[in-house]
């Protein structure tokens, strides 16, 4: 705990005037000045407390506990002494005693926000998260401006994956103390996880300006800029991180991921190996290397990764990364499908255990969207959106061919591939905040002029009028949630919907380690249920969207007859034929998706009907897909 945090946790006490401290007789004063009577008795409680605070800041926690115990014995009615004693005990992991001290502080002053905040810290450390949250909220009810309580509550919520709530608390902490790098970093990191990359970048850039040596902030800034497609800025941030801590594998590994995205697979592998030179069991580096090169059955690194899995102290995240790396490597090496699948399954199970997730949530959301964008609403609502024809939306399930399709389009000289834009999501979140409800609840009452404004705002964020390309591809697969809104706000846009065999799509999702927001990919049954809800929503869109607005585009047909299907794609998007679209793998651009290595190669068909190799392991998925699953065949 830093100096400022300590001042909030155990603020300079307003020492109450006790009968002992009021004695100012000449006899008492004389005794205190006699030789040999100096020491603790002659030091004021304020000075004793200040000395203990200094010891705390120096990390001398045993001294703090000893001194604070004497302090509370001498002045038992001083809340600040109990707060400090609790903090010292907490830092020494003496949590039972710390809680007793916290409760004593609260009993002395039930209106003390600091005492409730300290109590919450102890409860959090003991794993009593629900009670800790109650105490943090009590502290904030008593003192809304207690920034440490906002920050601590934000961290508690973050640990529970309640990202939106955590961001709210970090925002409050930053508003209360805008020049605190730790708060700015925490806000930027959670906004990055929420894919609000522009605001995340602002917070992180401020953090590193205030504290240029902030390694973690440089790492996160590099990651956020990488997601924004600002690769030069991302590289600069990672270079700074490596310069600050050349002995840390993180900076090297993150730089490797950037190079992988920009097509330099050899460079990505090189940085991954630099990370392993520093820490041989650094799982992110093994995962990076596995996704930057091909493997053979005799590859010695297969045994190295398998051996690392035997380590008892391997964390859940590291174990998951190694399993996914081994699944990919063994698959390329031609290993038995059972071995390949077991690695992917173990990786998914490790991730799923850390998630609080209910598939009923997305199922209900997709049903609600279909009801909000009913045929009646779609026909009754005027189409008065922004007139631009620049956007091309490529949508569909992840791993259905959306990245390949974007790469083909982006190879056309009139088209810019913008990647997975989050601008529409952010505009919808802004509308949620303004309306006090969540999408799609506010859709039925949305005025026509707001639809036009939404389209104009999206255009202003995504379409650069000065850019040479006339058309922009937004390849965010989950825009399939928003097709009704897009049709009204951007009626001249075009939508390309990727379709791929349901089992191949789901299996590819299962075998891909997504970083955020794809919880349903880590369980075969949940995968099947999610796919069914998605397919049901797409059936609805086909009924209510304007004719010619959306093209269903088959991955299997594209790989079987590339030129025919690419010509069909370009016609739908209002683009003339260009042979560069056939040579998409030669196009130099950043690709920040799991398909980064695939789009560097010509079209291939080895992923078609891949699921048959794993048929014996997929029954939960096939059952969940129900009528969407193919006929049972061995």
Q: What is the pLDDT of residues 604-616, one digit of tens each?
A: 566 678 899 999 9
Residue with tokens 């789901």: 506
CATH of 360-602, one of 3.40.50.10470, 3.40.50.300, 2.102.10.10, 3.90.1300.10: 3.40.50.300
- Report d(CA 196, CA 174) in Å as an integer: 17
pLDDT in tens, 587-632: 654 555 554 545 445 665 666 788 999 999 999 999 999 999 987 6
Asked if 13 and 105 touch (Cβ cutoff 8 Å), the reply is no
Alpha helix (H) ranges present in 143-194?
A: 147-159, 163-176, 181-193
Cis amide bond preceding 440, omega within 30? yes
The domain ranges of the chain are: 360-602
Confidence of residue 35 (pLDDT cuts 50, 70, 90): very low
pLDDT in tens, 224-271: 999 888 999 999 999 999 999 999 999 999 999 999 998 899 999 999
Percentage with pLDDT > 70 across the chain:
89
φ, ψ at 425 (rounded to 5°): -60, -45
Which one, of 598, 608, 618, lies nearest residue 556 by Cα? 608
Higher confidence at residue 545 or residue 53?
Answer: 545
Confidence of residue 483 (pLDDT cuts 50, 70, 90): very high
> C-alpha angle with apex 66: 61 to 69, nearest 5 degrees?
120
Which one, of 551, 573, 540, lies nearest residue 499 by Cα? 551
CA 118 to each of CA 46, 114, 184, 237, 601: distance values in angstroms, whole numbers, following the listed order: 21, 6, 22, 36, 57
Higher confidence at residue 111 or residue 555?
Answer: 555
Q: Which helix (H) or strand (E) holds 338?
A: helix 337-353
Q: Which range, 12-16, 181-185, 422-426, has the best average confidence (pLDDT)?
A: 181-185
> C-alpha angle with apex 213: 207 to 216, nearest 5 degrees?
65
Rg, the chain, Cα only = 29
Task: Give the Cβ contact number of residue 142 at 10 Å.
Answer: 17
State both tokens at 302: 């297969």
CA 586 to each of CA 214, 408, 579, 589, 633: distance values in angstroms, whole numbers, following the listed order: 38, 10, 12, 9, 39
Determine the pLDDT at residue 42: 59
Contact partners, residue 299, CB within 8 Å, separation at least 6:
329, 333
- Report d(CA 119, CA 88) in Å as an integer: 13
Q: What is the helix, strand, coil percentage profile of the chain, to 5?
A: 65, 5, 30
CA 94 to each of CA 62, 73, 487: distance values in angstroms, whole numbers, following the listed order: 11, 19, 60
Confidence of residue 383 (pLDDT cuts 50, 70, 90): confident
Torsion angle defined by CA atoms of residues 54, 56, 59 and 63, in that order, rounded to the nearest 10 degrees: 100
State both tokens at 34: 């006699």
Confidence of residue 415 (pLDDT cuts 50, 70, 90): very high
Torsion angle defined by CA atoms of residues 250, 254, 260 and 264, in that order, rounded to the nearest 10 degrees: -80
Percentage with pLDDT > 90 across the chain:
65
Determine the pLDDT at residue 475: 95
Mean of per-residue pLDDT scores for the chain? 88
State both tokens at 2: 């830093």
What order of strands is seen across the sheet that includes strand 415-417?
415-417, 471-474, 391-395, 494-499, 550-554
Asked if 185 and 220 touch (Cβ cutoff 8 Å), the reply is yes
Q: Which range, 33-42, 321-330, 352-361, 426-435, has the best average confidence (pLDDT)?
A: 321-330
- Report d(CA 60, CA 67) in Å as an integer: 11
Q: Which long-range contacts (CB under 8 A, 24 or more apart) does 94-98 make?
A: 94/65, 95/122, 95/125, 95/126, 98/122
State both tokens at 478: 């989950």
In the predicted model, what is the mean pLDDT of residues 158-184? 95
Determine the pLDDT at residue 233: 97
Determine the pLDDT at residue 462: 93
pLDDT in tens, 486-531: 999 999 999 999 999 999 999 999 999 987 778 899 999 999 999 9
Residues in the chain, overall count: 634
φ, ψ at 389 (rounded to 5°): -110, 15
525: buried, middle or exposed (CB in 10 Å: 19+, 13-18, 0-12)? middle
pLDDT in tens, 536-552: 999 999 999 999 999 99
The three-class DSSP label of residue 512 is coil
Asked if 318 and 280 touch (Cβ cutoff 8 Å), the reply is no
Determine the pLDDT at residue 18: 36
In the predicted model, what is the mean pLDDT of residues 129-136? 93
Determine the pLDDT at residue 331: 94
State both tokens at 175: 């508003």
- What burial letters (b/e) apply to 474-492, b meaning 16+ CB within 10 Å? bbbbbbbbbbbbbbbbbbe
Q: Are strands 391-395 and 415-417 parallel, antiparallel or unpaired?
A: unpaired
- What burial letters (b/e) apply to 569-599, b meaning 16+ CB within 10 Å? bbebbebeeeeebbebbebebbbbbbbbbbb
For residue 553, pLDDT over 70 is answered with yes
Asked if 71 and 48 touch (Cβ cutoff 8 Å), the reply is yes
- Report d(CA 161, CA 190) in Å as an integer: 10
pLDDT in tens, 331-378: 999 999 999 999 999 999 998 987 878 999 999 999 999 999 999 999
Confidence of residue 4 (pLDDT cuts 50, 70, 90): very low
For residue 28, pLDDT over 90 is answered with no
CA 490 to each of CA 291, 334, 377, 393, 429: distance values in angstroms, whole numbers, following the listed order: 37, 47, 17, 11, 18
State both tokens at 276: 């392993």
Asked if 251 and 238 touch (Cβ cutoff 8 Å), the reply is yes
Asked if 352 and 521 touch (Cβ cutoff 8 Å), the reply is no
Q: Is the dihedral of CA 482, 484, 485, 488 positive or negative?
A: positive
């Amino acid at each position: 705990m830093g100096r400022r945090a300590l001042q909030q946790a155990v603020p300079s006490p307003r020492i109450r005037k006790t009968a002992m401290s009021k004695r100012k007789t000449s006899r008492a004063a004389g005794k205190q000045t006699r030789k040999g009577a100096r020491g603790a008795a002659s030091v004021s409680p304020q000075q004793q407390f200040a000395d203990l605070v200094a010891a705390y800041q120096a990390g001398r926690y045993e001294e703090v506990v000893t001194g604070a115990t004497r302090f509370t014995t001498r002045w038992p009615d001083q809340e600040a002494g109990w707060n400090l004693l609790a903090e010292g005990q907490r830092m020494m992991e003496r949590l039972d005693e710390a809680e007793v001290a916290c409760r004593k502080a609260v009993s002395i002053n039930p209106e003390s926000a600091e005492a409730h905040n300290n109590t919450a810290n102890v409860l959090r450390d003991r794993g009593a998260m629900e009670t800790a949250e109650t105490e943090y909220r009590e502290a904030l009810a008593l003192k809304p401006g207690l920034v440490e309580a906002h920050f601590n509550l934000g961290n508690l919520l973050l640990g529970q994956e309640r990202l939106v709530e955590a961001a709210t608390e970090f925002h409050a902490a930053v508003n209360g103390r805008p020049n605190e790098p730790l708060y700015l970093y925490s806000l930027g990191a959670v906004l990055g996880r929420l894919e609000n990359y522009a605001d995340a970048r602002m917070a992180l850039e401020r953090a590193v300006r205030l504290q240029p040596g902030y390694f973690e902030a440089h790492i996160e800034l590099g990651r956020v800029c990488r997601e924004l497609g600002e690769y030069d800025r991302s590289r600069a941030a990672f270079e700074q991180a490596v310069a600050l801590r050349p002995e840390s594998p993180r900076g090297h590994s993150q730089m490797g991921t950037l190079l992988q995205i920009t097509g330099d697979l050899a460079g990505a592998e090189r940085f991954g190996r630099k990370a392993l030179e520093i820490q041989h069991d650094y799982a992110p580096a093994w995962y990076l290397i596995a996704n930057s090169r091909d493997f053979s059955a005799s590859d010695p690194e297969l045994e190295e990764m398998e051996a690392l899995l035997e380590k008892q102290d391997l964390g859940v995240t590291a174990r998951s990364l190694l399993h996914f790396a081994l699944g990919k490597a063994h698959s390329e090496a031609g290993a038995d499908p059972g071995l390949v699948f077991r690695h992917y399954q173990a990786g998914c199970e490790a991730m799923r255990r850390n998630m609080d997730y209910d598939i009923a949530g997305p199922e209900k959301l997709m049903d609600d969207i279909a009801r909000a964008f009913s045929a009646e609403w779609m026909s009754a609502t005027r189409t008065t959106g922004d007139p631009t024809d620049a956007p091309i939306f490529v949508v569909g399930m992840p791993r259905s061919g959306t990245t390949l399709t974007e790469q083909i389009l982006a190879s056309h000289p009139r088209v810019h591939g913008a990647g997975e834009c989050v601008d529409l999501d952010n505009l919808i979140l802004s509308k949620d905040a303004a309306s006090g409800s969540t999408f799609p609840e506010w859709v039925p009452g949305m005025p026509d002029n707001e639809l036009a404004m939404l389209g104009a705002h999206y255009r202003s964020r995504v379409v650069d009028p000065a850019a040479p390309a006339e058309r922009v591809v937004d390849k965010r697969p989950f825009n399939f949630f928003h097709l009704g809104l897009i049709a009204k706000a951007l009626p001249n846009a075009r939508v390309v919907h990727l379709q791929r065999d349901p089992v191949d799509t789901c299996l590819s999702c299962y075998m891909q380690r997504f970083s955020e927001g794809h919880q349903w990919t880590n369980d075969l049954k949940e995968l099947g249920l999610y796919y069914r809800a998605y397919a049901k929503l797409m059936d609805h869109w086909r009924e209510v969207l304007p004719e010619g607005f959306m093209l269903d585009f088959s991955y299997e047909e594209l790989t079987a007859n590339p030129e025919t299907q690419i010509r069909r794609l370009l016609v739908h998007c209002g683009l003339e034929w260009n042979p560069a679209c056939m040579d998409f793998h030669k196009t130099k651009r950043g690709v920040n998706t799991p398909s980064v290595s695939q789009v560097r190669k010509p079209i291939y068909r080895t992923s078609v009907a891949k699921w048959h190799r794993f048929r014996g392991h997929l029954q939960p998925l096939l059952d969940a897909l129900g009528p969407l699953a193919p006929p049972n065949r061995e």
